[in-house]
Amino acid sequence: MAVANVSAHDAASTHDDHDHEHHDNFITKYIFSTDHKMIAKQYLVSGIFWAFIGGFLSVLFRLQLGFPEMDMSFLKPILGGWINASGKLDPAFYLALVTMHGTIMVFFVLTAGLSGTFSNFLIPLQIGARDMASGFMNMLSYWFFFVSGVIMFISLFLEKGPASGGWVVYPPLSALEQAIPGSGLGMTLWLIAMVFFIASSLMGGINYITTVINLRTKGMAFSRLPLTIWAFFLTAVIGLLSFPVLFSAALLLVFDRSFGTSFYLSDIYINGEALPNTGGSAVLYQHLFWFLGHPEVYIVLLPALGITSEVIATNSRKPIFGYKAMIISMLGITILSFVVWAHHMFVSGLNPFLGSIFMFLTLIIAVPSAVKVFNYLTTLWRGNLRFTPAMLFSIGLVSFFISGGLTGIFLGNSAIDIQLHDTYFVVAHFHLVMGAASFFGMMAGVYHWFPKMFGRMLDEKLGYIHFWLTFVGVYLVFFPMHYIGIAGFPRRYYSWTNFSFADMYTDLNMFVSVAAIITFFAQFIFIFNFFYSMYKGRKASANPWQSNTLEWTTPIHPGHGNWVGEIPSVYRWPYDYSKPGSKEDFIPQTVPLSATPESNLPHEAKLVQLEKEIMAEEGEELVTNESKES
């Protein structure tokens, strides 16, 4: 049955097979490629590169937090002057480390590395398109991202250090060079890099949206789209609406920094000098920033949830439970994500009434998230679970999504947030729900679609080891932070020994640091597996996971254009797993209902007649077209 996907017109039209095959040279194939699959791989490799940089920075500051007495002179070859004469990490550089860790992880890894990779790779393959709507703009999107990365990377090596005001870069700290060394050239480069990044993600987003709306293959109605595509589509919509606001925030900050305006600056006396700026509002920046910043959480999370939906359904051999409810939840999250931003600002001096409004809106957004979790659980229920590494990472994601999501109920409650705001409780919360969950979504995606990307399989055993070390490691790192946070430990502290209320838990912090370092090094297992399997891995079969979606109907090494001959048509939703009556436990989307009378549900039986009529019409059309051509 799985091979019964060669529909009538497909067979009739394979004559133009290799006529349009491109003959690329190295540069057009691997560097300035317009093929969405190659661009996806470029994003993936860049994302992995940045993930290691970001992870390495976190190891450095975890060393400081876990072992404050340690002599770090052995890091001098890498960090040079940032380790002072007595072997201690420079406190200014500590802030630079946390800032760059946040920036890199949020934007370069979980936005570009996740959306960039999988939206690019899967949208055309799963909706049945030859490529993105604009291949050239897609290429431009990657190269803007690349330039952004180069600029950000250079900023790491500046004499005065990169941006250091936290990844949110709140002014006036980020606006005034005299406030912190990193607010000099480092901050300028941060802003320039972000402008390129925003441009890149807008070009990507426009492409994703256009492609999903316009280039779906015959029969691929919105109600038949895999949940991955729904997720990527809505992610792109969120990005398109919110990134420009970050751009405006950055632009005004550039004006304040360089052209003497006072958008964010007011009544400042610093370094023995009263600045002339008055009338600005530092809180305005926070509003603008979080208008992107909060949707950004969903920009990194939704694709991961989409990937998980697909992976869990496939490997449970069950339809995803509540397909429509999943879509409605995602739509709900998309809309609500724009009206909750000020919950990051409950104690910023915001009008308390506004705080109440945002508390109500914030807790509403927990409802669609809860629905998604229950739907995942029900999908697993009475399934026949195959624990591929991708499946393990997806289950891990669901676990993190629950753990981190529930603590959001504390933080969204403004009365409770008074105490918890900017403590380690927040760090634990968002690292689980947004960091680790999205990272696991990305890993699930890599393990699941690696065979489609490179035509070879990743080694499963290494995948299992990688998963268990990372899953246990992430919990060992972030779960203890809840306790530290309830105890009131503030974020972005170089050391806590100045305060008697926080002069404890040195053992727990040491434990967290050791777990973080082990987790970081466990990622090298993945790196080895990734690059080794790319060349030496076991050869993949056409549909290794016995999945229903369209990408598995392409050749094992799809060329530019994805399908040889006609693009297949779609006759059903993507989740016909273990359908009663069917011999196999999966029926790909390309199998017509008329070919599976034994498994059709009552309402589908009615559709068969309609389907036959359409196919007959198409057949006639094809015949006339061909006779015209010849």
Partner 1 sequence: MYGFLISIGVILLIMLIWMVYRIQTLISVAKGSDKKIATTSNKVNAILFMVFLIVFGGWMVWYSIVEFDNFQLPIASEHGIVTDRLFWITTAVTGFIFILTHILLFWFSYHYRYREDRRAAFYPDNNKLEVIWTLVPAIVLTILVISGWKAWSDITSPAPDNAHVVEIMGYQFAWDVRYPGVDQQLGGYDYRLTTATNSRGIDFTDKNAFDDFPSQNIVLPKGEPVLFNIRARDVLHSVFAPHMRLKMDAVPGMPTRFWFVPNKTTEEMRAELGDEEFEFEIACTEVCGIGHFTMRKVIRVVEPEEYRKWFTEQTPFIKSNPDLIADLPVELKELAKIYINEE
- Whether the link from the prior residue into 172 is cis, omega within 30° of 0, is yes
The pattern of x and - marking residues 487 through 506 that bind partner 1 according to CB under 8 A reads xx-xxxxxxx-xxxxx-xx-
Does position 413 interact with partner 1 (CB under 8 A)? The reply is: yes
The pattern of x and - marking residues 506 through 545 that bind partner 1 according to CB under 8 A reads --------------------------------x-------
Distance separating alpha carbons of residues 589 and 595, to the nearest angstrom: 12
Residue appearing with tokens 């937090």: 65
Question: Which of 278, 609, 624, 625 is in the footprint of partner 1 by CB under 8 A?
Answer: 278
Does position 354 interact with partner 1 (CB under 8 A)? The reply is: no
Does position 20 interact with partner 1 (CB under 8 A)? The reply is: no
Question: Which of 118, 233, 321, 439 is in the footprint of partner 1 by CB under 8 A?
Answer: 321
Choices 111-119, 232-240, 486-494, 610-618 (CB under 8 A): range interacting with partner 1: 486-494
Question: Which of 460, 564, 614, 615 is in the footprint of partner 1 by CB under 8 A?
Answer: 460
Does position 102 interact with partner 1 (CB under 8 A)? The reply is: no
Distance separating alpha carbons of residues 495 and 620, to the nearest angstrom: 76
Choice between 139 and 371, CB closer to partner 1: 371
The pattern of x and - marking residues 180 through 209 that bind partner 1 according to CB under 8 A reads x-----------------------------
Smallest gap from residue 555 Cβ to partner 1 (A)? 21
Smallest gap from residue 127 Cβ to partner 1 (A)? 21
Buried b (16+ CB within 10 A) or exposed e, 127-156: bbbbbbbbbebbbbbbbbbbbbbebbbebb
Choices 35-43, 117-125, 220-228, 570-578 (CB under 8 A): range interacting with partner 1: 570-578
Choices 229-237, 245-253, 347-355, 613-621 (CB under 8 A): range interacting with partner 1: 347-355
Choices 11-19, 235-243, 404-412, 432-440 (CB under 8 A): range interacting with partner 1: 404-412
Smallest gap from residue 306 Cβ to partner 1 (A)? 18
Distance separating alpha carbons of residues 352 and 354, to the nearest angstrom: 5
Q: CB atoms < 10 A from the CB of 349, how many?
A: 11
Both tokens assigned to 386 = 């195959």
Does position 249 interact with partner 1 (CB under 8 A)? The reply is: no
Distance separating alpha carbons of residues 419 and 426, to the nearest angstrom: 11
Smallest gap from residue 428 Cβ to partner 1 (A)? 12
Smallest gap from residue 105 Cβ to partner 1 (A)? 17
Does position 317 interact with partner 1 (CB under 8 A)? The reply is: yes
Question: Which of 216, 224, 343, 579 is in the footprint of partner 1 by CB under 8 A?
Answer: 579
Question: Which of 63, 92, 137, 564 is in the footprint of partner 1 by CB under 8 A?
Answer: 92
Does position 461 interact with partner 1 (CB under 8 A)? The reply is: yes
Nearest-5° Cα angle at 224, 221 to 229: 95
Subset of residues 131 to 150 that bind partner 1, contact rule: CB under 8 A: none
Does position 28 interact with partner 1 (CB under 8 A)? The reply is: no
Does position 177 interact with partner 1 (CB under 8 A)? The reply is: no
Does position 384 interact with partner 1 (CB under 8 A)? The reply is: yes
Smallest gap from residue 421 Cβ to partner 1 (A)? 6
For residue 131, is it left (φ>0), alpha (ψ between -120 and 50) or beta?
Answer: beta
Choice between 132 and 187, CB closer to partner 1: 187
Distance separating alpha carbons of residues 175 and 183, to the nearest angstrom: 6
Distance separating alpha carbons of residues 229 and 244, to the nearest angstrom: 23
What phi and psi, each to the nearest 5 degrees, are found at residue 539?
Answer: -70, 140
Torsion angle in degrees (nearest 10) through CA of 240, 243, 244, 247: -160
* Cα Rg of the chain (Å, integer): 26
Choice between 22 and 583, CB closer to partner 1: 583
Distance separating alpha carbons of residues 153 and 163, to the nearest angstrom: 11
Buried b (16+ CB within 10 A) or exposed e, 273-289: eebebeebebeebbbbb
Smallest gap from residue 352 Cβ to partner 1 (A)? 3
Residue 538 DSSP label: P
Does position 352 interact with partner 1 (CB under 8 A)? The reply is: yes
Choices 117-125, 203-211, 232-240, 318-326 (CB under 8 A): range interacting with partner 1: 318-326
Smallest gap from residue 512 Cβ to partner 1 (A)? 13
* Contact status, residue 378 vs residue 312, Cβ threshold 8 Å: no
Distance separating alpha carbons of residues 260 and 225, to the nearest angstrom: 51
Question: Which of 403, 547, 554, 562 is in the footprint of partner 1 by CB under 8 A?
Answer: 403
Does position 588 interact with partner 1 (CB under 8 A)? The reply is: no
What phi and psi, each to the nearest 5 degrees, are found at residue 322?
Answer: 65, 55
Closest-CA residue to 412 (of 399, 431, 425): 425
Question: Which of 137, 158, 240, 402 is in the footprint of partner 1 by CB under 8 A?
Answer: 402
* Contact status, residue 235 vs residue 298, Cβ threshold 8 Å: yes
Question: Which of 398, 433, 517, 567 is in the footprint of partner 1 by CB under 8 A?
Answer: 398
Dihedral angle sign, alpha carbons of residues 523, 139, 107, 228? negative
Question: Which of 6, 70, 370, 607 is in the footprint of partner 1 by CB under 8 A?
Answer: 370
Choice between 212 and 265, CB closer to partner 1: 265
Element (H, E) at 200: helix 185-214
Choices 49-57, 137-145, 303-311, 315-323 (CB under 8 A): range interacting with partner 1: 315-323
Choice between 155 and 423, CB closer to partner 1: 423
Q: State how far the alpha carbon of 8 is from the alpha carbons of 63, 549, 619, 621, in Å.
A: 64, 19, 7, 12
Does position 179 interact with partner 1 (CB under 8 A)? The reply is: yes
Closest-CA residue to 618 (of 7, 13, 4, 9): 9
Q: Which residues pair with 423 in a beta bridge?
A: 490
Q: State how far the alpha carbon of 212 is from the alpha carbons of 42, 205, 218, 236, 324, in Å.
A: 21, 11, 13, 10, 18
Choice between 80 and 352, CB closer to partner 1: 352
Question: Which of 59, 147, 192, 472 is in the footprint of partner 1 by CB under 8 A?
Answer: 472
